[in-house]
Amino acid sequence: MRMLADSGYHTISPDQLYSYLISGTRLPAKPILLSFDDTDLDQYTVAFPEMKKYGFKGIFFIMTVSLGRPHYMSRTRFVIF
């Protein structure tokens, strides 16, 4: 995350990307979309605090079949930002 921030990248949301693709809405310089898959607990305990530290946004694709299993997020750890 630090390297991305230091290199001038700006995170965008899926809605921003869609708007750009459909209507040409402007994006920030060096746009990047961060996505996390598989509901791994490290994504919440490690990646999310680092993203917050740099003011980054992203998207988590939650696999409900994994919720509550060892090393995965629980139902109380959904992240909205």
Question: Is beta strand 31-32 parallel, antiparallel or unpaired with respect to 35-36?
Answer: unpaired
C-alpha span between 74 and 33 (Å, rounded): 24
Extents of the domains making up the chain: 2-66
Rounded to two decimals, the pTM is 0.75
Tens-place pLDDT, residues 32-70: 999 888 777 788 888 889 999 999 998 877 777 777 777
Position 67 scores a pLDDT of: 73
Give SS3 for 55: coil
Q: Which helix (H) or strand (E) holds 14?
A: helix 14-23
Q: Which residues, in sequence order, are bridge partners of residue 11?
A: 32
Position 81 scores a pLDDT of: 46
User: For residue 22, which phi and psi values (nearest 5 degrees)?
Assistant: -85, -45
